Amino acid sequence: MLAFPCRTTLRAYLNGERTPGQRRQAPDAFVPFLPYCRQRLADDPHLWASTLFDEVTALGYQGAYSTFTRALRRNARDDETLPEHTLLTELVGLFLQVSDLHEVQTLSPA
With contact defined as beta carbons under 8 Å apart, do 82 and 93 qualify? no
Would you say the pTM of this structure is higher than 0.75? no
The two counts, helices (H) then strands (E), for the chain are: 4, 2
With contact defined as beta carbons under 8 Å apart, do 52 and 46 qualify? no
Question: Could you count the other beta carbons within 10 Å of the beta carbon of residue 97?
Answer: 10
DSSP 8-state code for residue 103: -
Q: What is the pLDDT along the chain (110 residues), one digit of tens a residue?
A: 567 778 888 888 889 888 888 887 778 899 999 999 999 999 998 999 999 999 999 999 999 999 999 999 888 655 544 444 444 434 334 333 333 334 444 444 55
Query: Which uninterrupted H or E stretch holds 73?
Result: helix 65-76
Q: Is 47 exposed, middle or buried (0-12, 13-18, 19+ CB in 10 A)?
A: middle
pLDDT at res. 83: 47
Nearest-angstrom CA–CA distance, 91 and 89 = 5
